[in-house]
Structure 1
Amino acid sequence: MIKLMVIGNLGKDCSVNTVNGKNVINFNVAHTEKFKDSTGVQKEKTTWVECAYWTDRTGIAPYLKKGTQVYAEGTPEVRTYQTNEGKSGASLSLRVQSVQLLGSRAEGLNGGGQPQERPYQTSAGGGSYAGQPSSNSNDEINEAGDDLPF
């Protein structure tokens, strides 16, 4: 099994479609890496990943807006194609098994200067709001937070 994990920003709002009676949420994720070339010049390389999330739980769709940072994981697919100029091309797509919202560029902090809560996380097994404990959560309270310097 090959698993692909992507963290990046959505390039546009997602679209929800129905194909053969099944729901699919389509979105694209851009990941940009900054690096220096052999001459020391700062460059950027952006990789786009087309994502297809086949699920009956489409509650996350309203949160998948342009610029939102997400973590998605699933199985990769490489598609090859021919351009109008006759050149070969390839694109990377992801059949999503789970997706988690990480935030957004424009909304990194809420009005009080505090980081925003991640509103929704979902996987092929289901979804839960970040404020709710999962059914697998441990009931113990971790006291290690008292040692933090802030």
Structure 2
Amino acid sequence: MLFTGRITADAQTRTVSGDKQVTNFTVALNQRYKTKAGEKKEKTAFVNCSYWVNPGLAVYLTKGAIVEISGWVEAQTWENRDGKVQADLVCSVDTVKLFGNTTAKAADKTEEKKAQSKKAVAGGEEDDDLPF
């Protein structure tokens, strides 16, 4: 299935079964339409996505980014605490196509992470006597 939507929150990468990594994110799909009475309506569906190919892509999958997803979509059911059956749309992603300026956001996040790691290594202080 091929669909285009907006990412609802920054993607999360986790390690499963030893060394495999999966990137999880949710895409919102909006449908706008008019009723016979001329009233404008909007419906939103959410698709939980799992991407197994490249965990480095998670940096670019940020909240609000527009993506085109190609993959296998299926409905999964589960029971909530009240015993009521619920359903989710789940996609095993084959390809991701990014739209818009997500590169600038990713660069900002990468620089921020580098700065945080420098502070953590140096104990929050800059050491000026290093030769490099």
Provide the TM-score with structure 2 as the length reference: 0.71
Q: Mind listing any 5+ residue stretches in structure 2 that lack a counterpart? A: 107-132
Distance apart, 1:44 and its partner CA: 0.5
Using a 3 Å threshold, how does the CA distance of structure 1 residues 38 and 65 change in structure 2: closer, same or farther? same
Q: Which amino acid aligns with 1:79?
A: Q
In structure 2, the partner of 1:47 is: 45
Higher relative contact order (CA 8 A, sep 6+): 2
SS in 1 for 2:59: helix
In structure 2, the partner of 1:59 is: 56
Percent identical across equivalent pairs? 37
SS in 2 for 1:59: helix
Distance apart, 1:58 and its partner CA: 2.2
Aligned match for 2:10, one of 5, 13, 21: 13
Distance apart, 1:93 and its partner CA: 0.5
Using a 3 Å threshold, how does the CA distance of structure 1 residues 36 and 85 change in structure 2: closer, same or farther? farther
Q: Mind listing any 5+ residue stretches in structure 1 that lack a counterpart? A: 108-115, 120-150
Asked if residue 95 in structure 1 is aligned to residue 92 in structure 2, the reply is yes
Task: For 1:92 and 1:84, locate their aligned partners in 2 and report how far apart those are by CA, in whole Å.
Answer: 19
Task: For 1:79 and 1:69, locate their aligned partners in 2 and report how far apart those are by CA, in whole Å.
Answer: 24
Whose radius of gyration is greater, 1 or 2? Answer: 2
Using a 3 Å threshold, how does the CA distance of structure 1 residues 28 and 42 change in structure 2: closer, same or farther? same
In structure 2, the partner of 1:24 is: 22
Extract structure 1 runs of 4+ deviating beyond 6 A: none
Task: For 1:82 and 1:67, locate their aligned partners in 2 and report how far apart those are by CA, in whole Å.
Answer: 30
Task: For 1:28 and 1:97, locate their aligned partners in 2 and report how far apart those are by CA, in whole Å.
Answer: 15
In structure 2, the partner of 1:86 is: 83
Provide the TM-score with structure 1 as the length reference: 0.63
